[in-house]
Amino acid sequence: MITSKHFSRTLLASLITGLLTACNSGTHQDLIGFVDKTKQQALRSTSIESLPDIKPYETYLYQTGDKRDPFTPTLVIDDATETATGDGIHPDPNRRKEALESYPLDSLRMVGTLQRDDQLWAIVQVINNPDSGIHRVVTGNYVGQNHGQIVRISEEQIELVEIIPNGLGGWRESETTIALSEE
C-alpha cells in the first residue's frame, strides 16, 4: 500500500533527479575552453626576469690622519667630579621621590609665580595630564625624570641641575631651564 506521503516523496525525488540530469547533459566545452586558456596564459607569464648585475663591494681603508679615531671616547672625564665607575656625582637612591619627578621636563610648563614675603614659588602644570592639577615648587624641589633639582626661580624661568648618565657607567650634571609659558 502506497501512502500519499510516500508517493509525494517519490515524486519529489524523481523531479529533482530529472532536473539535475537535464543540467548535466552538456559536454562542458565552455569550461574546458576556459581551463585551457588559463593554462596557456600561465605558461606564457612564467618567464623570470634575469637578476640585476651585482656590483662588487669596494673596501675602504680608514686613515685617521687628522680625523677623529672612532674607537676612542670623545667624552672627557673630570676625575674630580665623575668617573666611569660611578664614583663622584650620583643621584641619591634613598631620597623620597616628589610628584613632578614622574614627568619628563618637556611635559612640564611654568605658568606663573607666587611670592609671599621673600619666598618665590613657581607654578607648574603638566601639559599631557590636565588631571594632575597645578603644582607649586620652590628652590630645592625635584622635577623631571633625570633627578633635576631646582636651583633658582625667577619670574621668567626655573633653573635646575639634572644628574644624567655620562655613558660610561657614571653620572654628570647638566643645567637646564623651564621657561615661563605664554599660553
Domain boundaries, the chain: 65-183
Beta strands in the chain (DSSP E): 108-116, 119-126, 134-137, 142-143, 148-153, 157-165, 171-179
pLDDT band at 83 (very low <50, low <70, confident <90, very high): very low
Q: How many CA atoms lie within 13 A of 42 on its CB side?
A: 6
- pLDDT of res. 32: 86
Per residue in 126-180, pLDDT (tens digit) is 887 767 788 999 999 999 999 999 999 999 999 999 999 888 888 899 999 999 8
Q: What is the DSSP-derived secondary structure letter of residue 123?
A: E
pLDDT band at 86 (very low <50, low <70, confident <90, very high): very low
Q: What's the grid cell of residue 42?
A: 600561465
Round the average pLDDT of the chain to a whole number and report it. Answer: 81
Q: Which residue has the cell 574546458?
A: 32
pLDDT band at 96 (very low <50, low <70, confident <90, very high): very high
DSSP states of 139-178: TT-EETTTTEEEEEE-SSEEEEEEEEE-SSSSEEEEEEEE
Per residue in 97-133, pLDDT (tens digit) is 998 998 999 889 999 999 888 889 999 998 877 677 8
Question: For domain 65-183, is the CATH number 2.30.30.830?
Answer: yes
Q: What's the grid cell of residue 72?
A: 676612542
